[in-house]
């Protein structure tokens, strides 16, 4: 014999809905700890830096800018770790991409969109190579990406020395169109003060 659930009155939620959203049930979820830690850290810095602009629009833009850069890298790495794999070559690939953009746009005078596209293709190529090598050989991703990290780091340093005879590249002030673009994003003060990008 099957039982038929009693219909609830309009606007009334079933009891299971209330128990699902109780504080006790939410505290059992794995992401609840991360949420509480985020709130505690934010509250700590908001209180300890009061008056210094941490919670202002400019202060929030400052720490969110850094958080965005780290998040763009951390989210795919987190996905890999959930799958039980590692990618230790990320730092070397980010450094090599920076070298490609800096040398291509300053020393060789290439358009910025071209050198950014080239660095993205290089990063994707290294990732595909690491993935194929891991899958085809059965080697642990830890070993493959560790070797790739040393290889990419050494090659980027070697090519930078070969092409420019130095390992540092100064980025000049942007032209007026880019200056206006940076001003609209809130980074114009760096260009106006002659700071490096």
In the chain, what are the domain boundaries? 77-166
> Of 74, 70, 89, 73, nearest to 154 (Cα)?
89
Per-residue pLDDT at 1: 53
Asked whether 188 and 179 are in contact (CB, 8 A), the reply is yes
For position 182, what pLDDT does the model report?
Answer: 58
Distance CA 93, CA 150 (A): 10
What is the per-residue pLDDT for 125?
96
Residue with the two structure tokens 């940076």: 182
Cα gap 57→52, rounded to integer Å: 12
The answer to whether the pTM exceeds 0.85 is: no
Tell the burial category of 7 from Cβ atoms under 10 Å away from its Cβ (0-12, 13-18, 19+).
exposed
Spans in the chain with pLDDT lower than 70: 1-20, 171-197
pLDDT at 184: 56
Confidence (pLDDT) at 193: 52
pLDDT at 169: 74
CA–CA gap between residue 58 and residue 75 (Å, rounded): 25
């Amino acid at each position: 014999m099957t039982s038929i659930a009693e219909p609830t009155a309009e606007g009334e939620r079933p009891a299971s809905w209330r128990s699902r959203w109780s504080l006790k049930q939410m505290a059992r979820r794995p992401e609840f700890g991360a949420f509480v830690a985020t709130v505690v850290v934010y509250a700590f810095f908001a209180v300890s830096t009061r008056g210094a602009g941490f919670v202002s629009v400019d202060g929030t833009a400052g720490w969110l800018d850094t958080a965005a850069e780290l998040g763009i890298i951390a989210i795919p790495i987190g996905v890999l770790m959930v799958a039980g794999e590692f990618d230790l070559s990320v730092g070397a690939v980010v450094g090599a991409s920076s070298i490609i953009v800096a040398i291509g746009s300053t020393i060789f005078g290439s358009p910025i969109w071209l050198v950014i596209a080239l660095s993205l293709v290089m990063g994707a190529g290294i990732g595909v190579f690491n993935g194929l090598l891991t899958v085809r050989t059965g080697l642990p991703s830890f070993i493959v990406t560790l070797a790739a990290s040393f290889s990419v780091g050494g090659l980027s340093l070697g090519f930078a020395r070969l092409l420019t005879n130095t390992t540092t590249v100064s980025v000049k002030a942007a032209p007026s169109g880019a200056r206006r673009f940076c001003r609209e994003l809130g980074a114009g003060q760096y260009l106006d003060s002659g700071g490096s990008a």
